[in-house]
Amino acid sequence: MIFLYSTYNELIKIALKPRSYLGLAAITGLVGIILFALKADGMSMISFVTASFEQTLRFEGEVLNGNLVAFIILQMLIVHIPLLVALVTGDLISGEAAMGTLRMLATKPISRRQLLGSKFLAGGIYTLLIVIWLGVLAVVVGRWLFGPGDLMVLNSDGLVILQENDVLWRYAGAFCVAFFALLTISNLSICLSCFSDNSIGPIVSTMAIILLFTIIGTLDVPVFDPIRPYLFTTHMASWRSFFEDPLPWESIRNSLVVLTLHHVLFVTVALFAFNRKDITV
Amino acid sequence: MSNPIVNIKHLSKHFGNFHAVQDVNITVNSGDVYGFLGPNGAGKSTTMRCMLSLIQADKGSIELFGKSIQKHRSEILSQVGCLIEKPDFYKYLSAFQNLQIFSRISGKPSTKKEILDMLEFVGLQGREKDHVSGFSHGMRQRLGIAQTLLHQPELIVLDEPTTGLDPQGIIDMRNLILRLKNEQKKTIILSSHNLSEVELICNRMVIIHKGKSIVEGEVHALLNEEEQIIRLQTSSDSMETLLAFLQNHGTAIQINDNSVEMNISKEKIPQLNAQLVHAGIPIFAIEAKRKLEDYFINLLAS
């Protein structure tokens, strides 16, 4: 029961902290700008992409529809969401250590494991809310402004055209995988937060790790080939697999396994560190 | 037979090569206001932190309410309210919201009315919606006391609760502790290096020095309060007359041009006062000197 109360406390603290709304505001602003840009000049952008296919294919209907708009938004924004997540979750322990409230909490009849668990759960719920908000803005508002239609996706294998009635469930799956990937960021930043007594350190460290792993993942150097499949950043974009036809279930499963291993690693390290952290000063 | 609430035996804790606490033994009975005395760095806070399981002791046993704190931490802490050094709160939340947060994980969540009543008890009525960021140190200290008491604990642990308070704040805090003692019959453990505070409030005490408990027992018994040092103030013209008069009542030591100090049995003070008036010696003040100060200094020196 005390774990549920503690989780509720953590959610209240997140909800009443002004910085928690930075992420939601940033997503709203960025999606708004993309929607405005696509509404104003989207066709010329689409024509530029479809020009190379026009000699072999004939497009009928609205290519620039809500489903394509949602895909473009996801593609453009999903790389920025980790920063917005870490901004809140990286502060959950180190911020309290800096304020001194962690010491106050430690005098209550809640174990450190329960306290940390409630912070992981609250961080996960915040991440879920960020993803849901992005989904609402991208899919719901996108379809409302641009209308539904078939989705045309250009990926490494070529052009994939998905029928309108075959798209929504793919978005649902894509957002679930995107959430699972972002949960890794949330867990990583909370884990780093256990090692710090100031709120900036874990946020900057989380971004530095993402940057480092992304560079290792994209550098075309053979020496990194053995570790590349095991970096969580390699699997951050696995949500895109839901827009391939047929669905690469094997690849999705592999991504989920690697991400799950990272979740377990970060939570275990955090538990170990938090149980030994001096929170009395 | 008194009922021990806290029973600490042979407690030791070291940080690296530094022995913060060595073989400390403490017994706090139900209803006690128990003083932890000692200079800065003596080991008072470390003992309290071990007692509350905030840090692990290296040796010894700690029992609260007859149960080991290591084995029954949650159960025990739900009956304990504590304020360790300065109280820290969520500055972006109001006083009411802060109390709600701490109350939910105290083992006995409080109702809105209970929280408002507690804010009134500590003198923060009308400030419940104000953000803690705007509170003075004294107000935060009182809010700290409120979060300590909110779940109606049996045992209250206050680690240097008057540190950083102004004189009025110290008096308010002292009165608050006395109200807890007299009205609510709480068992209170109070750490302080303010000697007069301990002398005024506590009935039992331990003096800790260099990590060791030097002496433990009843404050009155330790200070031998049958005897009292008093300071008398007169005019410089009357000083010789006063010294001659006091020769019949004991040994008086002249402190300065118009003050003398003497050791006297407590019940003889009114009689001495009457005789001084009768002898026509002008006395501007008779004040009792705090004995704990001398006791403490002598003890540490020895």
Q: Give residue limits of the domains in chain B.
A: 4-219, 227-301
pLDDT score recorded for residue A3: 92
Counted residue by residue, chain B has a size of: 302
Inter-chain CB proximity B90 and A5 less than 8 Å: no
User: Nearest Cα to B144, choosing from B134, B156, B126, B129?
Assistant: B156
Higher pLDDT, B92 or B252: B92
- DSSP lists the bridge partners of residue B61 as B9
* CB-closest option in A13, A99, A280 to B55: A280
CA distances from B248 to B242, B245, B251 (A): 11, 6, 8
Res A281: pLDDT: 61
Test mutation, A101, A116, A118, A119, chain B, max B CBs within 10 A: A101
**What strands, in cross-sheet order, belong to the sheet with B80-83?**
B80-83, B155-159, B187-192, B33-37, B204-209, B212-218
Residue B151 with chain A: CB contacts under 8 Å: none
Q: Check pLDDT > 70 for residue B273.
A: yes
What is the distance in angstroms between the CA of the first residue and the CA of the last residue of chain A? 28
pLDDT band at A59 (very low <50, low <70, confident <90, very high): low
**Cβ of B292: how many Cβ atoms within 10 Å?**
22
Hey, is the C-beta of B87 within 8 angstroms of any chain A C-beta?
yes
Please list every residue in chain A whose beta carbon sits closer than 8 Å to the beta carbon of residue B55. Answer: 278, 280
All residues of chain B having their beta carbon less than 8 Å from the beta carbon of residue A9 are 101, 104-105
Q: Is A132 a residue whose pLDDT tops 70?
A: yes
CB–CB of B55 and A2 under 8 A? Answer: no
B74 in contact with A, Cβ within 8 Å: yes
Comparing CB atoms, the residue among A2, A106, A109 nearest residue B54 is A106
**Any CB–CB contact under 8 A between B52 and chain A?**
yes
- CA A128 remoteness from chain centre: 9
Residue with the two structure tokens 């001084």: B276
Average the pLDDT over B180-199 and give the result.
84
Residue A1 CB: number of other CB atoms within 10 A? 8
Helix ranges (DSSP H) in chain B:
44-51, 73-77, 95-104, 112-121, 137-149, 167-182, 195-201, 219-223, 239-246, 269-278, 291-301
- Residue B74 CB neighbour total at 10 angstroms: 14
pLDDT-derived band of residue B226, with 50, 70 and 90 as boundaries? Answer: low
Residue B294 has pLDDT above 80, yes or no: no
In this complex, which of A2, A100, A279 lies closest to B105 when CB atoms are compared? A2
User: B74 to chain A: which residues are within 8 Å by CB?
Assistant: 2, 109-111
Q: Which residues of A touch B88 (CB under 8 A)?
A: 99-101, 103-104
In chain A, where the domains are located: 2-275
- Both tokens assigned to B70: 């290591």
Q: Mind telling me how many Å the CA of B174 is from chain A's nearest CA?
A: 22
Percent of chain B with pLDDT over 90: 21
B233-252 pLDDT, tens digit per residue, is 888 888 888 888 888 777 77
Residue B290: predicted pLDDT: 61
Residues in A touching B100 (Cβ below 8 Å)? 12
pLDDT band for A185, please (50, 70, 90 cuts).
very high
Q: Which amino acid is at A160?
A: V
Which residue from B284, B283, B281 is spatially nearest to B241, judged by alpha carbons? B281
Question: From the CA of A85, how many Å to the nearest CA of chain B?
Answer: 20
Nearest-by-Cβ selection for A104 from B75, B87, B93: B87
Name the least confident of A90-99, A248-257, B114-123, B288-297. Answer: B288-297
Does residue B139 sit in helix, strand or coil? helix
- Indicate whether A54 pLDDT > 70: no
Segment B132-179, tens digit of pLDDT: 999 988 888 889 989 998 988 999 999 888 877 778 878 888 888 888
A213: Cβ contacts below 8 Å, ≥ 6 apart: A231, A232, A233, A234
Interface probe for A, chosen from B105, B131, B132, B163 (most Cβ of A below 10 Å), is: B105
Question: How many Å apart are CA A195 and CA A202, to the nearest integer?
Answer: 8
Where residue B2 falls among pLDDT bands split at 50, 70, 90?
Answer: low
Interchain contact B55–A (C-beta under 8 A): yes
As given in the structure block, the two tokens for residue B97 are 């919201």
DSSP readout, B36-98? EE--TTSSHHHHHHHHTTSS--SEEEEEETTEETTTSHHHHHTTEEEE-SS----TTSBHHHH
For residue A275, pLDDT beyond 70 = yes
Phi, psi of B159 (to 5 degrees): -95, 105
> With an 8 Å Cβ cutoff, are A6 and B92 in contact?
no
Convert B124-146 to b/e letters by CB count within 10 Å (16 or more is b): beebbeebbeebeebbbbbbbbb
Q: Where are the alpha helices (H) located in chain A, listed in sequence order?
A: 2-16, 20-50, 66-77, 81-89, 94-99, 101-106, 112-135, 142-146, 168-193, 200-218, 249-276
CB contacts of A117 in chain B (<8 Å) are none
Question: pTM, whole model, 2 decimals?
Answer: 0.83
Tell if the CB–CB gap between B105 and A110 is shorter than 8 Å: yes
User: Does 3.40.50.300 match the CATH number of domain B4-219?
Assistant: yes
* B89 contacts on A by Cβ (under 8 Å): 99, 101, 104
Tokens of B76: 């025990």
CB–CB of B88 and A280 under 8 A? no
Give me chain A's average pLDDT, please. 88
Nearest to A252 by CA among A236, A238, A232, A234: A238
Burial B198-221 (b: 16+ CB within 10 A, else e): bbbbbebbbbbbebbbbebeebee
ipTM, 2 decimals? 0.83
Amino acid B157: pLDDT: 92
How near does any CA of chain B get to the CA of A244, in Å?
47
Numbered residues of chain A with Cβ closer than 8 Å to any chain B Cβ = 2, 5-6, 8-9, 12-13, 16-18, 99-101, 103-111, 278-280
Write phi, then psi, for B244 (nearest 5 degrees): -65, -40
Chains A, B: CB contacts within 8 A come to 73
Give CA A94 to chain center in angstroms.
Answer: 22
User: Is 3.30.70.120 the CATH classification of the domain at B227-301?
Assistant: yes
Nearest CA in chain B to A277: B55
Q: Measured between CB atoms, does B54 come within 8 Å of chain A?
A: yes
